[in-house]
Amino acid sequence: MLMTEKDLGYRRIQCTGRGAYIISLPKGWVEDINLERGSEIAFNIQPDNTLLLTPRKIAEKQAQNTTIKPKEYSINIDQKEDIKSALRMTRALYTIGADIIHIRFKNQENTQKYKTETKNFVRDTFLGAEIIDETPNQITLQIFIKHTEFGIEKAVRRMSIVALSANRNAITTLTDPNPSLSESVIQTRNEVNRLGLYIIRQLKHGIEHNLHRELGLQTPKEFLLYRIAVNDIENIAENALNIINNINAFQKLLDNQTLFIKEPVDEEIHEPLTNYYAQAQQLYEDAVKAMFKRDYKDAEKLISKRETFVNLEKDLMMLISSKKLDPNVSAILRLIFDNAKRIMDYARNLSELTLNLTAEELCATVTYK
């Protein structure tokens, strides 16, 4: 039966003896849609905090009538053009929530080369993406992972752990030029980027469909918090890669005997620098924990703690400057120092965002007599 909108007036909320709140349903409405004792009704909180009540049989009927079509796109790659442009387009489509992407290759001359490059890009860039079909002139990519399978909070946690691990390995390479450590930094940086892109995809989906609760967030404001956190973590991993690249370039000079240095690292500098780096990473780990716990007090303490490292930073800079080091060594040490300082600043920024997120909740619990 088709019903027009009716104003049923106001109904008082009552309290049972057990402290539960109840409200009666309009008798005419219950009878019109054939509800009875034991019938189930879904409750959904709307963005404006109003409550939507939907009988289960109506909700199930709506679900059957609603077919969610996958978001499907096609890209044509002309081999006369730069393939990087097409790959950037593929990346953008993944970010905005594409489910299926058809990548077609015009001209047949170097198709295999372009297909190989595209496959490598998909493997290194996208989380939860698989090549589901391939023809001589086309690749079909499908994204299988859903937000319910790998939540934003878990992804950010994983992302921060991996990025900080990359930095630890990068610092170790300074005294242990192990090729496997260098390779691990490159791999972990790629993993950080994959996770970051996946989180951005989820955030965009959540904003578009107002799904902050479904994504595990308490308020829509947290979309911005996580977007900033993702950007900072990506920078942490990128800085680790910069350190590795500089150390590897320096090691080549030593291996080729272009440069002769008896002791590449001065122990008087190395120990306090690595200690400072470890403290920077710990500060960031604590900032991430405070964010997930929504702990205003812990975040505030971390901001104050960040300021206590200012004098140590000055001493480290003075120590590096006072040593008569090879310019290559000095550049690497300054790069490590700058990266550690940035991690400190990222921790402070994240803590400030946590304050902004929780201040309103904290103040709302305060009453004045």
Question: Do 102 and 56 sit in the same domain of this protein?
Answer: no
Q: Which one of 47-56, 264-273, 342-351, 355-364 scores highest in mean pLDDT?
A: 342-351
Which of the listed residues 143, 170, 200 is the one where a domain comes to its end?
A: 143
Tell me which of 143, 169, 186 is where a domain ends.
143
Same domain, 195 and 256: yes
Q: What is the pLDDT of residue 194?
A: 92
**Do 159 and 181 lie in a common domain?**
yes
pLDDT computed for residue 260 by the predictor = 67
Q: Are strands 100-106 and 72-78 parallel, antiparallel or unpaired?
A: parallel
**pLDDT per residue over 16-45, tens digit each?**
766 667 888 888 778 878 888 778 888 877
- Residue 4 lies inside a defined structural domain of this protein: no
Residue 23 sits in which domain range?
A: 14-65
- The yes-or-no verdict on residue 283 having pLDDT over 90 is yes
Same domain, 241 and 183: yes
253 and 329 belong to one structural domain: yes
Q: What is the pLDDT of residue 264?
A: 60
> pLDDT above 90 covers what percent of the chain?
27
Say whether pLDDT at 285 is over 90.
yes
Number of structural domains in the chain: 3
Closest CA to 198 of 155, 234, 240: 155
369 belongs to a structural domain = no
- Assess if residue 6 is contained within a domain: no
Residue 3 belongs to a domain:
no
- 232 and 328 fall within a common domain: yes
Q: What is the pLDDT of residues 199-252, one digit of tens each?
A: 999 888 888 877 777 777 777 888 888 899 999 999 999 999 988 888 888 778
| pLDDT tens digits along 111-143 | 888 888 888 999 889 988 999 998 888 899 998
pLDDT (mean) for 76-101:
86
Residues in the chain: 369
Predicted confidence at residue 3, as pLDDT, reads 47
Summary mean pLDDT of the chain: 83
Query: Among the three residues 37, 65, 93, which one is the final residue of a domain in this structure?
Result: 65
Residue 249 lies in a domain: yes
Same domain, 354 and 277: yes
What tens digit of pLDDT does each residue of 37-71 get?
A: 778 888 877 766 788 888 887 776 766 555 567 88
Shared-domain flag, residues 236 and 353: yes
Whether residue 202 sits in one domain with residue 54: no
Q: Is 124 among the domain residues? A: yes
